Structure 1
Amino acid sequence: MNYPLGLLGWKIIRKRRLELVNLSDIEEDKKFLAIYRKVKDQTMVRIERCYTLYQSVQYIIKNKIEGDFVECGVWKGGSCMLMAYTLQEAGISNRKIYVYDTFEGMNEPTDADGQEAKDQWQKGIKAAHNTMCYASYDVVRSNIESTGYPVENMVMVKGPVEKTIPATIPSAISLLRLDTDWYESTKHELHHLYPLLARNGVLIVDDYGAWPGAQKATDEYFSTIPNTFLARIDYTGRIVIKK
């Protein structure tokens, strides 16, 4: 997860990796911007990756790819809100959206996640939860319900994915968005959920370039699946169209 940027045609981003980014094509998409303005305060996903998610939902609708929508690691629910708004924009409200999160902040990272992850997690320890990426169940539910998407088609699953998956999973997935940052959770999600992703379905790994654990888990998993093209969205996000 990363903090969102304002809307600018050109923007210098990320203190440690300066780059110049042209956002003019995104700013010309008025329908997307209308949705983005509704969700931007509920997400740490910056605008390029939000736009990729928006386009992915449109692609799935256009190509009639069957399956539900899944996000693991949702913070305040902004990406799920974006999915819901985009589906409704196309007149669709019968797809289920699976919302997986601890709703208690981040789980403890392991050695595979690096010292920076451990240090940040340690700073967030509180009696009731970890403040790193924390948002309560009630806050997330309220945010997603505010989109007007049918409540019966929102499946909120509370707890670490290592404990809730595969106990509660869809039978088929059209879009799978992974944003739990750490090695163990990402590895578990890919193992159990990627096989359920439909042919031509979309996988988005949000923190591939931001956290070493997410990258390690992704690389290990796809080393066993030949000819998988893991395409770059921005410095951290990666996308796969399943063959």
Structure 2
Amino acid sequence: MTPKPEALYLDLMKKTLSFTLWPEPPIPLETFNYSRPPLKRYLVSLVSWILRHMNLELVHRRSITEDQRVEGRIWPGYADTMIGLKRLDNLQYCIEKVIEEGVEGDLIETGVWRGGACIFMRAVLAAYGIEDRKVFVADSFEGLPPPDPDKWPADRGDTHYRERFLAVSQTDVMNNFKKYGLLDEKVIFLKGYFADTLPAAPIEKLAILRLDGDMYGSTMEVLDNLYPKLSRGGFCIIDDYSLKGCKAAVDDYRSKHNIDTEMIRIDWTGVYWRKE
């Protein structure tokens, strides 16, 4: 039986966004240069600068397995999402379920990196001709915030803010939407740290709430502000449950609000549940 056009389109979108249609190419050595000791960082930058003037590039060839890419276990050099195919499959399932059952509300991801998961959200809506839902794209577009241990003690010592690889500008994310033909008035950008943008965000109801904030504080700020807006029957998806801070925030919020709905494992790090 030939798959329906929307199924073929969405399958191709997942493989394209995750770059799993192609072998992972070597990446410029400078991509992760910020995490090296100062002397190595200087030497890599110097050699790279010299080579650029010769129309050459210093690259690093990584040994990456297919399972690592499918499960989103790497920070990819070229993909527009790092969540892997299993979490993209889950996202598709959740969106199709709320469409099928008429669960009211928009879709949001909080912490979007290059925008791949949000692009896929918009792609699913487009594939099914859905015109009455928006996709909210919430991020600082400058990387993660430094930890605030006075407010969120569980974040003490967190170093995500140093990872400049995680900082992708709003312009770059918008351009990624454009290259897939999916940047339109249904896509709403919320630029800034969650504590500043989410309390007054123009969101009435949500059907899909997808969190990818890594830290305790970032996760708790999203849950505090947006979980009450998640419709009954909507899905709450946690990308980073394997991270200590994120897991603690999710567990604390669920305990405080007596949420005992079973969390379902997606892969090695992702979980989700359906609001009752």
TM-score (norm. length: structure 1): 0.79
CA contact (8 A) 2:10 2:127 kept: no
Change (3 A) 1:55 1:226: closer
Aligned partners of 1:235, 1:93: CA distance in 2, in Å? 34
Choose from 134, 139, 142 the match for 2:172.
139
Q: Which has the higher contact order (CA 8 A, sep 6+)?
A: 1
| CA displacement at 1:145 relative to structure 2 | 3.2
Provide the secondary structure at the position in 2 that maps to 1:151: coil
| CA displacement at 1:153 relative to structure 2 | 1.3
1:200 and 2:233 aligned = yes
Q: Which residue of 2 aligns with 1:34?
A: 12
CA contact (8 A) 1:121 1:132 kept: no
Provide the secondary structure at the position in 1 that maps to 2:208: strand
Whichever of the two has the greater Rg, that structure is: 2
Residue type of the alignment partner of 2:14? Y
Deviation beyond 6 Å, 4+ runs, structure 1: none
The within-5 A match list for 1:146-165 is: 146-149=179-182, 151-165=184-198
Aligned partners of 2:126, 2:206: CA distance in 1, in Å? 18
1:236 and 2:274 aligned = no
Aligned partners of 2:11, 2:254: CA distance in 1, in Å? 34
Aligned partners of 1:150, 1:104: CA distance in 2, in Å? 21
Provide the secondary structure at the position in 2 that maps to 1:192: helix
Structure 2 segments unaligned to the other structure (5+ residues): 1-6, 19-78
Change (3 A) 1:39 1:56: same
Change (3 A) 1:149 1:30: closer
Residue type of the alignment partner of 1:86? V
Residue type of the alignment partner of 2:262? F
| CA displacement at 1:30 relative to structure 2 | 4.6
Aligned partners of 1:145, 1:193: CA distance in 2, in Å? 27
Provide the secondary structure at the position in 1 that maps to 2:166: coil
Change (3 A) 1:220 1:121: same
Q: Which residue of 2 aligns with 1:166?
A: 199
Q: Which residue of 1 aligns with 2:65?
A: none
RMSD: 1.7
CA contact (8 A) 1:106 1:132 kept: no
CA contact (8 A) 1:103 1:136 kept: yes
1:221 and 2:253 aligned = yes
Aligned partners of 1:170, 1:52: CA distance in 2, in Å? 23
Q: Which residue of 2 aligns with 1:70?
A: 108
Q: Which residue of 1 aligns with 2:138?
A: 100
Residue identity (%) = 34
| CA displacement at 1:150 relative to structure 2 | 5.7
Provide the secondary structure at the position in 2 that maps to 1:152: coil
1:50 and 2:88 aligned = yes
| CA displacement at 1:192 relative to structure 2 | 1.0
| CA displacement at 1:54 relative to structure 2 | 1.1
Q: Deviations over 1:112-165 (max 9, x none)?
A: 1465x42x544x3xxxxxx04111110111212333336211110110001111
Aligned partners of 2:207, 2:137: CA distance in 1, in Å? 14
CA contact (8 A) 2:174 2:183 kept: no
Provide the secondary structure at the position in 1 that maps to 2:237: strand
Residue type of the alignment partner of 1:214? C
Residue type of the alignment partner of 2:16? K
CA contact (8 A) 1:71 1:179 kept: yes
Q: Which residue of 2 aligns with 1:179?
A: 212
1:82 and 2:120 aligned = yes
